[in-house]
A and B are shown apart, each in its own frame.
Chain A
Amino acid sequence: MRLHAKVLLVVVPLAVIPLMILGWLAYDQLRSSAVERSSSQMTALMDQTARSFQMHQDVAKANARLFADASLMRAYALTEDEEERYVLMLPSLLKLFFSYLHAYPDYTEIRFLLPDGYEDARATLMSIPNAAEDEGDTPFFQELSRFEGETFVQISTPPDSHGVSLQVARPVRLIDPVTQDPLNGSPILRGYLVVTMSLDFMAEQIAVSRIGENGHTLVVDERGRILFHRDPSQLGQHIPASLMNRILGSEEPEQLMPVLFQEAQSLLATRRLNEDLLLIGVLPERELLAESQRLGNIVVWIIFGTVVLMVIALLMAMNTLIVRPLKQLKGAVREIGHGNLSPEIGLSANDELGQLARSFQEMAGSLESSRVKVERLAYHDSLTGLPNRFRAHENLRHMISLAHCKGAKMAVLFLDLDNFKRVNDTLGHQVGDQLLKEMSARLTSVLRAEDFICEEVLQNASHLLARLGGDEFVVLLPRISGTQDAAKVAARILDLMKVPFHFDGQEIYSSTSIGISLFPDDGTEVDDLIKRADAAMYQAKEQGRNNFQFYSASYNLAVFDHISLEGRLRRAIENSELELHYQPLVEAKTGKVVGLEALLRWNDPLEGIISPDRFIPIAEDSGLILPIGEWVLREAGRQLRIWQAAGLGDASVSVNVSAIQLQRQDLFTIVSEVLDDNDLAPWQLELEITETALMRIRPEVIGELDALRQKGVTISLDDFGTGYSSLSLLQELPIGKLKIDKTFVRDMLVDPKDAAIVSAVLFIAKSLGLRSTAEGVETPEQAVRLADEGCGQLQGYLLCRPLPVAEMTEFLQSRKAENILQSVL
């Protein structure tokens, strides 16, 4: 059963039962008052009818006496001779009778009957012919003749009379004063004066007698024949003898008694009007009950209406207060069942339901955390907290599908600790576990750093680090741009893993072997990619561990150098493996050292000196050029100050600036700082930019260069002649100096083409008001020729090779103020 029905089953009876009891009480009260009212109404009506009848009868009796005493009547009665009576007296007597009849409309007939029953005189206004003149044999006259009293009354429906009538007969007993002694003679019966009174007035009264709708009265004679009834069709009918007997046998006939009357339950009361007539009052019970019935109906309707309203109200209230919240709860529970563990339950109520909702939410919260826990357990490695093999496969599959769509490249790195088994065996599993945890932490940090650096590249895709089991880890690099990216990450990992681990005061050295497979080159299926990365890892193991290998061998060589150089360059910056060598710039006219070009040198501990031609591109690729470039500027400034302080000439220092630096560094600020920090004049700092770099930089950077030049810093165009700058460009650029590339200088004495170029450059510089420097001057001839051509400054092995600081210091001290040019020429 639904909740609605249950609540209604409880509540509706609570309201309906009192209503019904109230209704019943009112019904009963109304019924009894209706019975009382109707019975008193009927009693009054019947009393009135009975009184009226009695009055009429009394008046009729009195009138009969009056008529009988009329002198004409007496004279008539005393006249024995018929002829006298009929001829002389009858017309007068009849006239008298008629006057009575006119005076009393109720009287339908006045007769004078002789003692033998002969109708001697008769007056009637009814046009009904007299049926019999001799009434001697009629029952009426039989009874009348036996009557001894003053006035005889009988109800009859005489055959020659109309309807039911009351016959009032007065025996006329007279003493004949002629033949009898008036005093002592005994009156002799001369005849009977009979007045017939119509009982139409009764018929009228009965016809209008009405108690309520159907309550009525009727008059029956002694035998139960209905004489008066409001329904004419009932006249002449008999009421059942049993009922008649009951009425006659009743001790208190005036009281109401319940009987079955004319097939209806009724209340009956009776009055005896006279010996012959019985007045019966009938109250159909149905009508008595009608009013209470009506009330009953109203009560039933009210109950019905109440129930309907209540049901509606309850349904609405329950809907609002209970069912809807329950439905919401149900929905929430279903959602929880379907996995949404933080369902919205729009319940603010403070009641039990609200509490229930909150409990649900709490439960959902617990479920959620359990679920997360379970999921973690299912998908993550419990030791490191990294995704497990299962999850790795899943994610990889997901990534592959993404990459498929976007046509991106991915790399899968398969890692294996080189000495994990040994650590486990020698130091115990606990340490092994520690090692794994630490390792995963390091991997995470590496990958996070990669993320930071390669933010633009890795947008909308994150790397994946997972532990496949044991000491095997897998790294997924989504959206790599090439093998280099994968190699870079692998190299960093290798580097990080080489850092010793410290557990409980023990220092553990470890290394990793990494195998790399590439999507889509090495496979497009998860299993293939992992399997091949695994295979590549074994290859790395074979290669002596602590390295990485691509599954496709061709990648290995190409990438190796680059990657390893970059890594080493990073480390070189940290380990101060970079240093600056300086090469002097000599004024062609005077032979004086007027400038020093700072040249970056990398003294790799393994390889020794590494040429800038090798590592500068790598530094530019990896962005390492920025810290390196800044360092060079600051270092060169610092060194110049030292030399200046040592009184080693007031030369300027030239620093090569990469295009990347121009684009991504606030060169102006750094230059300003360097000048300020070292108390240098702006002219003492020269920024050398290659022609090709200058061609590539964005126009806004030109403004910055211009600002530097304004400041007094010289911008010199390095390697001039290798690019294709137009003269107009040179004019627009904030250039102060042109440096002629060493390739032109080298062959200028043998190749007229180069000589022409050098001449042209020098001519341009001269015509634009730019200074000029020739690089790579190796022979005195070259120097002479350049000087002749008007080149301002010379630089090259002829004058001095690039020297480390210490040697340069010595060089500057020894050759101080010397005409270097003269010494070599």
Chain B
Amino acid sequence: MFSGKTIFVTLVLLVTAVFAQASEPKELVFLNWANYMDPDILVEFEQRTGISVKQRYFDSDTTRDELLLETEGKGFDLALVNGSSIRILAKRGWLEPLDESSIPNLKHVNPRWRSAFEQAENYGVPYSWGTIGIVYRKDLVPFTVSSWMDLLQPAEELHGKISMIGDNKDIVGVALKALGYSLNTTDEKALQEAEALLQAQAPAVKTYRYISIGADSALLTGQIVMSMMYNGDMRMLQQHSDNIAFVLPKEGGNIWTDYLSVLSASPRKADAKRFINFLNEPEIAARLAQFTHYATPNLSAEALLPAEFRNDPVIYPTGEALENSEAYGRLPPRAQKRQAAIVSRLVQGG
């Protein structure tokens, strides 16, 4: 079972982490998305500080929250937190407040991104920002994808070959966007429509887990021919195949920001802050952006990036799609609950 396996994996990781901490005090445990950190940078950090960084991965914000919830925020030193969750995790008391005093390189960071979400300025350092769109196989999808409906109401031949991101906000958000609603609507009817749309799509969906973007990706094998995907990940996939295409649908999507947070339960908060500071050195941040193919909020780093990168429409979307895109706002709790219930019914219920 999906959730059970996740819990099991988490527990194993947790034990190893605790064990590692005991034997090697100079190690940071970083809860992160897979393929979201340049290993060379970690090597360089270790060479520079003697502090090794061990990554633990999650495949959705919900999974990350689950992991954190299992241990009430313990066992990890750093975590990559999405903008909309940062306030709640902070409220839970799991996050360490951060400021320029402990992370001097914050000065390079664009303030727009630092304050993009409530409490983000106090508990996180922007890591990257991006959008969510549709990735697909040009060679296997016989039409040009332009709308979320191409994914949400898939053509017959795509059945069983599409995947969705089983994240509460993203998946409901995509459905709302496709229907022309705001991502942040709390309108009951809109949510019902969104759920109906998703339920109707469900039989055609191969998986709600975020697919791999490595060389083993299902998109590369052709198991999946169309999927929701964060924009940068597509560029990473493209390194393996030229048939990979990406579109930010015309209805627009979510503009998200990821933050790095230090967990309040971490016994190595200082090391963790030092690592965050290291990552925000312009040169390092630029390297990181180029590795992840996501836009960096570090203005200094951005300046270092080649024009090719800076003009990449995938990374820096423009036009109608961008105008229609929005960030997640703060929703009433019960509206969030409703979204959670929708996704739960969608992912667990079937």
Contacts and interface: CB of A to CB of B under 8 A. Distances in A.
Indicate, yes or no, whether A interacts with B: yes
Given A89-B69, A92-B66, A98 B333 contact: no
Main secondary structure of the interface of B (DSSP, over half): helix
B341 A90 contact: yes
B3 A84 contact: no
Interface stretch (A118-126, A441-449, A504-512): A118-126
Interface string A71-87: 01001000001111111
A525 to B, nearest CB: 136
A123 B348 contact: yes
Contacts of B337: 82, 85-86, 90, 120-121
Nearest to A133: B334
Contact of A99 (B4, B89, B92, B334): B4
Given A82-B337, A90-B337, A91-B62, A99 B91 contact: no
10 contacts: A75-B69, A84-B91, A86-B333, A86-B334, A87-B85, A88-B88, A92-B69, A98-B349, A102-B1, A122-B341
A95 B168 CA distance: 13
Contacts of B348: 94-95, 98, 123
Contact of A95 (B3, B85, B334): B3
Interface of A: 72, 75, 81-92, 94-96, 98-99, 102, 120-125, 127
Contacts of A92: 3, 65-66, 69
B88 A84 contact: yes
Nearest to A95: B3
Interface residues on B, range: 20 to 34
Contacts of B68: 88
Instruction: Provide the main secondary structure of the chain A interface.
Output: helix
Interface string B330-350: 000110110011011100110
A87 B1 contact: no
A89 B85 CA distance: 12
Contact of B92 (A88, A90, A94, A98): A88
Interface in B306-350: 333-334, 336-337, 340-341, 343-345, 348-349
A83 B86 CA distance: 12
The 6 closest A-B pairs by CB, nearest first: A82-B333, A98-B348, A94-B344, A86-B337, A95-B3, A90-B340
Contacts of B168: 87, 91
Contacts of A91: 62, 65-66, 168, 340, 343-344
Contacts of A123: 344, 348-349
A98 B69 contact: no
B66 A85 contact: no
Contacts of A125: 349
Interface string B61-96: 010011011000000000000000100110110000
Contact of A83 (B1, B3, B91, B199): B91
Interface in B86-110: 88-89, 91-92
A674 to B, nearest CB: 161
B77 to A, nearest CB: 19
A576 B81 CA distance: 193
Nearest to B340: A90
A399 B273 CA distance: 175
A124 B85 CA distance: 27
Contacts of A83: 88, 91, 333, 336
B340 A81 contact: no
Contact of B340 (A84, A94, A96): A94
B69 A86 contact: no
Contacts of A86: 333-334, 336-337, 340
Interface centre among B91, B168, B349 (most CB of A within 10 A): B349
Contacts of B65: 87-89, 91-92
